Chain A
Amino acid sequence: MRRSHLVSLILVVVFAAASLAGVLSAGWTPVLGVQLQGGVEVVLRPADEISDEQFERAIEIIRNRVDAIGVAEPDITRQGTQVVIQLPGVKDKQRAVDLIGQTAELRFRPVLQMFDPTDPEQLSAIEEAMNQGQDGDIGNENSVETTEPEIPDSRASLSDVLTPPQEDDVSAMVALLGTSGQTGFVLAPADVTGEVIEEAAATFQGQWIVNVSFNDEGATLFDQMAAANYGRQVAIVLDGVVESAPTINAEEFNGQAVISGSFDEAEAKNLALVLRFGALPVEFERDDVRTVSATLGEGTLRAGVIAGLVGLALVGAYMLLYYRLLGLVAICSLATSGAILWSIVAWLGESRGLALTLAGATGIVVSIGVQVDSNIVYYERIKEEVRRGRAVRSAAAGSFRAAFSTIIWADLASLISAGVLYQLTTGTVRGFALYLGITTLIDLAVSFFFMRPLVILVARRLVGERPGRLGLSNMAGGVIR
């Protein structure tokens, strides 16, 4: 009995310390939400009813765009009929908001040239060609850019050559990469956009191919383009990425086209999806757009941390004052839970990209009360038994069952509410529910495996028959009543 207590105590401490040490040495820190470090949070909702397949595709498109902006910890989730996009720490906030909300447009661009993005010499040549091309095509609009002194033999880097998303206009000549990033394309202005497509499907006929059919108006437009580019490649571009670049093998398609190549099943299906849903762009409404400046975020974080620490200190002081040695046990329990919680939050941030939001942090502050209550329920039981004349050590061991049953039933109510809120709500409330649930589970585990053995040990070793050390005053008489 006593041995198992000690083992459980040591295991919990080792577990908490090891997980904390592991997380710290791995350099994992909790990912802070938008409200705590600044950034952008957007909630989008499709303007019309759309299928699940379309929805998933739209989220995929948004994810690609966010990746293109280069955000460290983007969190993009579908919550019911909405998409919640959180970009903590994003630099150019306005651009991020614009980019996310845009409607996806599929473009067919004739391929002018292909290049190897890793070859510096080709890059320099492409850059030069691009600048000339722009001079020729667009005239003086971009004169500010082109009048900059050019050093002919400077090595152009890839980012200089590629067209940034905001300059990716239908009527402009652009330089873009393929899906794998291995091939670069110089592309002519788009004559045809995805609106021409009626249906696209992947089928297997000896090999995987994609059948495309065009609408009436689209068939004419597509044939015009095909005639002009017969024998050459035309790139299918979505969101600045060349999804495929098939060669045009006919001058007239009459509303039907077949794209073949060395596709595997997944590639063919993906291309069909791109053609279909890129062509029928999902229009999103912005339900909620929030940008938080870095200073405001840091201020909130600092205020929260200081307030949390002050609160903890006050709670600790009160517990010490009231329960003496048992108060110390309560503080140790809090510290253990804190170490485990920190590890979990850091792990969630690192592996799932799940950020600690302001609401989540509030859930944690609130959980301090729940955690301490588990201690109080137990201690009050012990005190009651001792008042009835029971020895401290047997009271400590004997009252845990009743106390823990109370703790379980009460915590179960918390878990039910956390579960319901997590399932049925979005955004703020959901984040709160998640951390409320996590901390409640930690509370149950720590109460059973840490608080109980520690209290029993303390009662045996340190208190003996001096209940004053537990905050039981003037108990010399033993039984009261």
Chain B
Amino acid sequence: MNFSLKAMYRGENSWDFLGVSRRVLAGSAIVVLVCVVAIFVRGLNLGIEFEGGGVWEVPALSQVTTDDLRDAASDAGMGEARVQRITGGEDIFRVRGELTPDASAESVVSKLAEAARVDAETVSTRAVSPSFGDEVAGKARRALIVFLILIALYLTLRFEWKMALGALVAVAHDIAFTVGIYAIFQFEISPATVVAFLTIMGYSLYDTIVVFDRVKDNERSLSAKSRMTYPDLANVSLNQVIMRSVNTSITSVLPVLSLLVVGSLFLGATSLQEFAIALLVGLIIGSYSSLFVAMPVVSELKSRESHWAEQARSAGVLGQSNAIEDAAAVLAADRYDRSSPPRPRKKGRKR
């Protein structure tokens, strides 16, 4: 594969995506397997929204230590409290623990504020009942199932069921990968993260639809007598949309990267961080999967159809393997047979 940025910029790239697709798919499958194993072995670090309990965020003065706050927490009747000092911007202490009848959210606030030598009004709190998390998770699960069914229907109507299947495989791949990252690094999962996962699904689908749309468009413009195999068709289409995929990924990742780097590292807004990590990972993996997972899956399925199998056989007889440039030429010729030919340049007057 001749990899050249300049060729990409000029749209002269002709890479054989599908030629390597089986190996790439196998690689992706292994990575997803690792992620799934990680999710089961290491488990997920669920936030209090899912497990219940309390979190207190207290402004951190330099002379106060995490031990001071831990003592204050146990004073207030909490058993095991986890105290973290979060730096970046203005430092804060993050105290997380169980709520008990003795340690109500209010009594803990005053104890912690006293220990941290700050005003109680500056303490932010979160108290969640254990049953709440089940409900949040239940609702998210239900929404997810309805969403997947609707999307499958939508893609089937708009394209065909094989493409719907390819898109859903890609989405599953993205979610497994991203959740796997959260399991491996034990990042905390909150409703904010769930939002990010959902965004990733949306993005991945969006990307995949752009690719499929191009394949369908090219397929329609093929004339009945053109000799082209489905992988060739897919390859040409992928080469056509790759620059759009790359550019869209870059312009989508830039704001999220800025949210992560500027927002949470320099300014210490931890609530933004939760979103940003998942989004960043998901956006990149979403672009990858629409090119390297969704399309190859569809190509595998479509090549089995009798029409395409026939095409592949005759291409094999003619010794035409891996001829993307030829395929692009066939496609261009077919397209211009049907629509009006491009105007000669001299007709365009300068203004």
Contacts and interface: CB of A to CB of B under 8 A. Distances in A.
Nearest to A479: B342
Nearest to B257: A311
Contact of A365 (B105, B192, B248, B255): B255
Contacts of B146: 420, 424
Interface in A415-465: 416-417, 420-421, 423-429, 432, 436, 460-461, 464-465
B255 A287 contact: no
B39 interface: no
Contact of A307 (B11, B90, B202, B263): B263
A363 B262 CA distance: 18
Interface stretch (A120-128, A263-271, A297-305): A297-305
- Indicate the member of A303, A412, A460 with the most B CB atoms within 10 Å: A303
Interface stretch (A56-64, A192-200, A312-320): A312-320
A409 B154 CA distance: 10
A100 B203 CA distance: 39
Contact of B126 (A93, A289, A420, A464): A289
Given A303-B89, A306-B263, A365-B259, A387 B351 contact: no
Nearest to A383: B11
A468 to B, nearest CB: 12
- Indicate the member of B203, B256, B259 with the most A CB atoms within 10 Å: B259
Is the interface on chain A under 10, 10 to 19, 20 to 34, or 35 or more residues? 35 or more
Contacts of A481: 325, 328-329, 332
B264 interface: yes
B271 A35 contact: yes
Contacts of A406: 209-210, 213-214
B124 A293 contact: yes
B272 A307 contact: yes
B244 A425 contact: no
Contact of A372 (B123, B252, B258, B263): B252
Interface stretch (B63-71, B135-143, B304-312): B135-143
Given A362-B195, A424-B139, A318 B251 contact: yes
Contacts of A188: none
Contacts of B240: 384
Contacts of A373: 206, 210, 244, 248, 251-252
Contacts of A427: 136, 191
Interface residues of B, number: 92
Interface stretch (A5-13, A135-143, A168-176, A389-397): A389-397
A159 interface: no
A201 interface: no
Given A299-B268, A429-B195, A390 B343 contact: yes
A249 interface: no
Contacts of B203: 366, 369
Nearest to B243: A380
B264 A303 contact: yes
A460 B351 contact: yes
Contacts of B9: 473
Nearest to B92: A296
A43 interface: yes
Interface in B129-162: 129, 131-132, 135-136, 139-140, 142-143, 146-147, 150-151, 154, 158
A307 B258 contact: yes
Contacts of B199: 363, 366, 432, 436
Contacts of B31: none
Interface in A299-347: 299-300, 302-304, 306-308, 310-312, 314-315, 318-319, 322
A417 B154 contact: no
A417 B198 contact: yes
A311 B279 CA distance: 14
Contacts of B126: 288-291
A144 interface: no
B121 interface: yes
A296 B269 CA distance: 8
B254 A473 contact: no
B11 A299 contact: no
B4 to A, nearest CB: 13
Contacts of A461: 351
B59 interface: yes
Q: Is the interface of B mostly helix, strand, loop or mixed?
A: helix
B244 to A, nearest CB: 4
Contacts of A478: 345
B128 interface: yes
B129 A287 contact: yes
A318 B49 CA distance: 38
A460 B267 CA distance: 45
Given A414-B206, A425-B140, A380 B241 contact: yes
B150 A420 contact: yes
A149 B136 CA distance: 55
Interface string A26-64: 000000000100100001010000000000000000000
B11 A384 contact: yes
Given A303-B272, A413-B205, A285 B129 contact: yes
Given A368-B255, A377-B210, A420-B150, A474 B139 contact: no
A303 B217 contact: no
Given A315-B251, A362-B275, A417 B202 contact: yes
A428 B12 contact: no
A388 interface: yes
B125 A289 contact: yes
A387 B205 contact: no
A291 B191 CA distance: 17
B192 A428 contact: yes
A359 interface: yes
B147 A366 contact: no
Contact of B213 (A299, A376, A388, A409): A409
A232 interface: no
A480 interface: yes
Contacts of B192: 358-359, 362, 428
Given A285-B129, A393-B348, 17 more contacts: A45-B132, A289-B105, A289-B128, A290-B125, A292-B124, A296-B57, A302-B267, A303-B263, A303-B269, A322-B247, A368-B255, A372-B251, A390-B343, A412-B154, A416-B147, A416-B154, A465-B348
Please list the 3 inter-chain residue pairs (A to B) with the smallest Cβ-Cβ separation, ordered nearest first.
Answer: A369-B252, A311-B255, A311-B258
18 contacts: A43-B132, A94-B109, A286-B127, A296-B57, A296-B92, A299-B269, A303-B267, A365-B256, A372-B252, A373-B206, A373-B210, A377-B210, A391-B345, A413-B154, A416-B151, A417-B202, A428-B194, A481-B328
